[in-house]
Structure 1
Amino acid sequence: MSAPVVDVWGPVAPGTRSSYPPAPEPHDTWSLAGGTAWVYYSPLNRRQLVRPVILSDGFSSGSSDLDQLWHGLEENGAYRFVSELHATGRDVVVLGYADRTASITANADTAVECIRRAVAERVGGAKLAVGGFSMGGLVTRYALAKMEQDPGLPDHEACLYFSYDTPHQGAWLPVSLQAFTHFATDKWGETPGVGPVLRQFSALLNSPAAKEMARWHIEKVGDAPGQASERVAFLRALDEVGGWPRTVRRIGVANGTDTGTGNGVAAGATAVRCNGPSLQDTWLKTQAQGDQVVARLQKAGEEPVSVHTGGLPDIDGAPGGLFTAPSPAGDPGSFGLAALLMGLLGNTVDPDVISTSCFIPSVSAVAAGVIDDRKVLYRPIGPDHSELDAFVCARRNEGHTTMTEELGAWIVNEVVALG
């Protein structure tokens, strides 16, 4: 599997940077309020900004990492997205944020500033293409819509909006994993070594951006899963600016299939189980329909805690982009992350781990229906279902924001088609 463009959780050790090779030196760097834009001119444009394409980073820990972004865009071994855009005469502006966990509307202000800077720096009158990866698609969606609705803001002068595996209808992270993360943080958050890692993960789950994107969220063990107040407020803000930019062509891609074919993860199965000196008979299950105990959590010497859900679809196995997270063991998945944490706490993890799960359902990535309804999650997606003008889904369910020729070339062709 190629490296994703954005890492959902970022580096495992708090405060560290990713270990990707250095990106090429940008031709220009724009310091923005709340972020940075790295500008790479097309060789065809003689170091002038002529046809700007703005690529927004997504959610992760800390500030945007240009080396990581460049690796996902250019050095992933599947498709050289920036080079292909350059070959068509497009200049690439990589937009990063000082805090990728900040609210989407706050980072949208940075995106607005970047768009305005691109218009001011541009030579000639070519329209912009603006979009992003994962949360970056929501940031730029809101930014463009706000620029159309707010009379105090100038014209964005864009003709194309694109999103890459963006959670337009919400993201999914297993409730069992959320509960285990908070449980472990409560019990061992001050333990040297593992404590900072646990606190980082728990804080990420409870960050403003994560709450705005998660369709089902719990802040602590024992909470009923549902939409956080931050998500309700964001959806209201998005609605107040019209929901979408209206003067552009809207396109998007999904790292999941449009055929209704899931990823093979069985509903209600034990995803990960461990025993050891700190955790006794602790396990997490994949999500099933109906009332379910999705986790049993027990600190050695204490009473077990059961985590319940009800009314949720069997979404772990749904078509969509898969949860990806870096790990020293090379385990890329959501439940694989739980297995990693259990091991860090000194426990023996059963080897039969269901490591990954659906993260961004295909219907969410292409704005083709709510993810609450199992029938919608697993139905084939047709053009009439989507709020986008055009979309493409992957031929298989693959890692969230993985850059592939199948998806990347389609976006490049759409950019070129608009002149």
Structure 2
Amino acid sequence: MPNTVVDIWGPISPGAPASYPSAPEPHEEWSLAGGTAWVFYSPLNRRQLVRPVILSDGFSGGSSNLDQLWNGLEENGEFRFISELHATGRDVIVLGYDDRTASITDNADTVIDCIRRALSERVGRSKLVVGGFSMGGLVTRYALAKMEQDPGLPDHETSLHLSYDTPHEGAWFPVSIQGFAHFATDKFGDDPVAGPVLRQFSALLNSPAAKQMARWHLQKVDDTAEAAPERVAFLQALEELGGWPRAVRKIGVASGVDTGTGNGVAPGATAVRGNGRTLLDTWLKTQARGDQEVARLQKAGEEPVLVRTNGLPEVDGAPGGLFSAPSPEGDPGNFGLAALLMTLLGNEVDADRIATSCFIPSISAVAAGDINGQEALYQPIAPDRSALDAFLCASRNEGHTRMTEELGAWIVNEIVSSS
């Protein structure tokens, strides 16, 4: 268990990143300020950078891992995204970060460095395509907008920005899980088995990037869930840059549906309950509207701690990309991780439980409205509501950023048609 890696870009994986199949050797590796770019030339371009597509990693713990990224883009889904781009003559630059939990604005400087390098290496005058997955779409969005507004920066020479299940209007970390992570870390952070994962998970939720992305954040178990000051400051900084890059076509996809149909997670349901050696009747509930107790947390021998919310919509069941959807490989989902940790702490967990929930609501991924409102979350998304020039939502609620033929092929077609 000490090797468990809490991973938001893809699954929560019971194994070290090295357990992913090895990626092919990149043709070039660029060392950047704050990150690394792995360059894969199209076979059609004779190892020259002719039509660059920069794809940014997103939010997770630690540094970017090429094997993991390659697996998500080429091997783990049903659509070989890089291979399809190569077949159209596009060269793919996979952009990773030294710290995926760092501030979006800090990692945006790494994007700018990558764009500079791509422009200097490019043969010909083809415009760039720049974008990313999950938070990577936000980092690249900010970077391009900054390059347009800052006279000290060069022209980004980019024609298209793409985002894949990006939290343009905020991400959802269930408040009950945030509360449990902080509570359990405080009470059991020194546990030799569960302690390392608890500390990592709590730190991940309180990282600069998580605070900027999360629509509702809980710093400590007894705090009120609200937008963190870091999110407020980030949104203000983005607005000062115009909100979006202006000189590019903006496209995006959502891993959730646009029909308003939820994922089936009922509001106010008990997602996980544990009881035993270290916990007494400890449970987490899915989010409902109104004044609600979303978690009861009790260490044996101590008084219970209650986590409450008020005025939040039913986000756990909303249409959107699912947080680490459970899989045959053993990825437990977010509520499933809480169940796993309760078990490792020496408790029995009820067999009847909910594993996962919405992570990026569809309206957030296609920039079509504030996720604050119940009606907005659950109504069909009309094209004229989106800040994007074009978007596609999945035909069913998929795992967050899962590469599917439906979404991947649409992006490839958009890239080709935009050139």
Q: How does 1:92-241 map to 2 (within 5 A)?
A: 92-241=92-241
Unpaired runs of at least 5, structure 1: none
Q: How does 1:228-267 map to 2 (within 5 A)?
A: 228-267=228-267
- From the superposition, tell whether residues 18 and 357 of structure 1 become closer, same or farther in structure 2 (CA, over 3 Å): farther
| Residue matched to 2:3 | none
SS at match of 1:245: coil
SS at match of 1:198: helix
Distance 2:47 2:144 in 1: 26
Q: How does 1:1-400 map to 2 (within 5 A)?
A: 7=9, 11=13, 16-324=16-324, 330-400=330-400
SS at match of 2:343: helix
SS at match of 2:171: coil
User: 2:175 touches 2:218 (CA, 8 Å); kept in 1?
Assistant: yes
Could you tell me how far 1:346 is from its partner in structure 2? 1.2
- From the superposition, tell whether residues 77 and 136 of structure 1 become closer, same or farther in structure 2 (CA, over 3 Å): closer
Distance 1:328 1:347 in 2: 24
1:356 is aligned with what amino acid? Answer: T
SS at match of 1:218: coil
- From the superposition, tell whether residues 217 and 6 of structure 1 become closer, same or farther in structure 2 (CA, over 3 Å): closer
- From the superposition, tell whether residues 133 and 143 of structure 1 become closer, same or farther in structure 2 (CA, over 3 Å): same
| Backbone CA RMSD of aligned residues | 1.5
1:142 is aligned with what amino acid? Answer: Y
Could you tell me how far 1:326 is from its partner in structure 2? 8.1
Could you tell me how far 1:190 is from its partner in structure 2? 1.2
Deviations 1:145-172 (A, max 9, x none): 0000000000000000000000000000
User: 1:12 touches 1:197 (CA, 8 Å); kept in 2?
Assistant: no
Deviations 1:364-406 (A, max 9, x none): 0000000000010001001111000000000000100000000
User: 2:12 touches 2:331 (CA, 8 Å); kept in 1?
Assistant: no
Deviates further, 251-260 or 325-334: 325-334
| Residue matched to 1:407 | 407
Distance 1:326 1:78 in 2: 17
Distance 2:294 2:399 in 1: 24
SS at match of 1:283: strand
Distance 1:226 1:6 in 2: 21
| Residue matched to 2:4 | none
Deviations 1:45-97 (A, max 9, x none): 00000000000000001000000000000012400000000000000000000
Distance 1:74 1:163 in 2: 17
SS at match of 1:120: helix
SS at match of 1:58: coil
User: 1:127 touches 1:158 (CA, 8 Å); kept in 2?
Assistant: yes
Deviations 1:193-235 (A, max 9, x none): 2211110000000000000000000011110000001101110
Unpaired runs of at least 5, structure 2: 1-6
- From the superposition, tell whether residues 398 and 88 of structure 1 become closer, same or farther in structure 2 (CA, over 3 Å): same
Distance 1:344 1:328 in 2: 21
User: 1:331 touches 1:355 (CA, 8 Å); kept in 2?
Assistant: no
User: 1:6 touches 1:57 (CA, 8 Å); kept in 2?
Assistant: no
Could you tell me how far 1:121 is from its partner in structure 2? 0.3
Q: How many residue pairs end up in the alignment?
A: 413
- From the superposition, tell whether residues 328 and 399 of structure 1 become closer, same or farther in structure 2 (CA, over 3 Å): closer
Could you tell me how far 1:17 is from its partner in structure 2? 2.6
TM-score by length of structure 1 reads 0.96
SS at match of 1:406: helix
User: 1:26 touches 1:40 (CA, 8 Å); kept in 2?
Assistant: yes
SS at match of 1:402: coil
User: 1:10 touches 1:60 (CA, 8 Å); kept in 2?
Assistant: no
User: 2:14 touches 2:330 (CA, 8 Å); kept in 1?
Assistant: no
SS at match of 1:68: helix
TM-score by length of structure 2 reads 0.96
Deviations 1:323-354 (A, max 9, x none): 01789981432111111111111111101111
2:220 is aligned with what amino acid? Answer: K
Distance 2:328 2:232 in 1: 36
Distance 2:97 2:12 in 1: 14
Distance 1:232 1:282 in 2: 33
Distance 2:190 2:11 in 1: 20
Distance 2:185 2:374 in 1: 32
SS at match of 1:192: coil
Identity of aligned residues (%): 76
Could you tell me how far 1:6 is from its partner in structure 2? 6.0
Could you tell me how far 1:7 is from its partner in structure 2? 3.1
User: 2:13 touches 2:330 (CA, 8 Å); kept in 1?
Assistant: no
Distance 1:331 1:89 in 2: 35
- From the superposition, tell whether residues 278 and 19 of structure 1 become closer, same or farther in structure 2 (CA, over 3 Å): same
